[in-house]
Amino acid sequence: MSSKPIVEARGIHKHFGAVHVLKGVDLRVAERELVFIIGPSGSGKSTLLRCLNRLEAPSSGSVVVDGIDMLDPKTDINHARQRIGMVFQSFNLYPHMTALGNVTLALRKVAGKSRTEAEAIGRAALDRVGLADRAEHTPGQLSGGQQQRVAIARAIALEPRVMLFDEPTSALDPELVGSVLEVMRSLRESGMTMVVVSHEMGFARAAADRVVFMDHGQIVEQGAPAEIFEAPKEERTRAFIGQIQRH
């Protein structure tokens, strides 16, 4: 990895009470890189993502995103978080607001855009996820895949430097997964730096630069998708890959 990292996490430990959830994780993500994180349930993938934008405070270690020290108490965390888009398994849209209302909310309240400006940016973001004609629909009038695409539009409207995806397709009916992966693929083609926790192996093979396998709060092994999926070096990786491929 030659280009400068957008994300640089070093020595991340996280304890929840007596439970040691992250045990010294180092993760560098270069500009325009798509890093895929896989691993068993409970291995610490979500906690790691949440430590990157300080939704969780690591117990120790350092996190620098786009040159900003995310753990420095002097850092304006709300401002810093605008550079980091996050998409969750549950879409977290406001049910009483339209798609456009959901996408423009942070533009107006956090980024300080006028209504007119926010709506122009919001409509462009909805267009990028293929939902230009759904701007006035509320979440209840949209499919799960469309709702997740609204959530992606909401994140990209803030022009983040990196996007974090935590199992973005896990809550979707199988026939709706493709539309969300398609949007992620186009984001990737536009040069977005992305960290994706997902079990969508086909997508990982096609789009990921690097696959990171986590188990028990540590990175066990990482490498190109073909290496990790076809020739994993570690027994734990082999066992996990074998399991998910049987599904």
By CB under 6 A, name the binding residues for ligand ADP. Answer: 16, 19, 21, 39, 41-47
Least distance in Å: CB of 241 to ligand ADP? 16
Between 45 and 236, name the residue whose CB sits nearer to Mg ion: 45
Closest CA to 53 of 205, 186, 179, 158: 158
Between 11 and 42, name the residue whose CB sits nearer to ligand ADP: 42
| Separation between Cα atoms, residue 7 and residue 196, nearest integer Å | 13
Least distance in Å: CB of 61 to ligand ADP? 15
From ligand ADP, Mg ion, none, which one binds at residue 148 (CB under 5 to 8 Å depending on kind)? none
Could you tell me the two tokens for 214? 């986590």
Between 142 and 211, name the residue whose CB sits nearer to Mg ion: 211
| Alpha-carbon radius of gyration of the chain | 18
Least distance in Å: CB of 122 to Mg ion? 29
DSSP 4: P
Task: Give the interface size with Mg ion as a residue count (CB under 5 A).
Answer: 2
Between 71 and 156, name the residue whose CB sits nearer to ligand ADP: 71
Provide the residue type at 12 as one letter.
I
3-state secondary structure of 246: helix
User: Which range binds Mg ion by CB under 5 A, 39-47, 77-85, 94-102, 204-212?
Assistant: 39-47
From Mg ion, ligand ADP, none, which one binds at residue 16 (CB under 5 to 8 Å depending on kind)? ligand ADP
- Contact flag: residue 46 with Mg ion (CB under 5 A): yes
Least distance in Å: CB of 56 to ligand ADP? 7
Q: Within 13 Å of residue 200, how many CA atoms lie on the same side as its CB? A: 26
Between 44 and 101, name the residue whose CB sits nearer to ligand ADP: 44
Between 15 and 109, name the residue whose CB sits nearer to Mg ion: 15
| Separation between Cα atoms, residue 109 and residue 111, nearest integer Å | 6
DSSP output for 150-192: HHHHHHHTT--SEEEEESTTTTS-HHHHHHHHHHHHHHHHTT-
Cα–Cα distances (Å) from 122 to 70, 143, 180, 198, 237, in that order, read: 27, 19, 18, 27, 41
Closest CA to 213 of 61, 87, 48: 48
User: Which range binds Mg ion by CB under 5 A, 25-33, 46-54, 76-84, 137-145?
Assistant: 46-54
Least distance in Å: CB of 86 to Mg ion? 13
From Mg ion, ligand ADP, none, which one binds at residue 83 (CB under 5 to 8 Å depending on kind)? none
Residues binding Mg ion (CB under 5 A)? 45-46
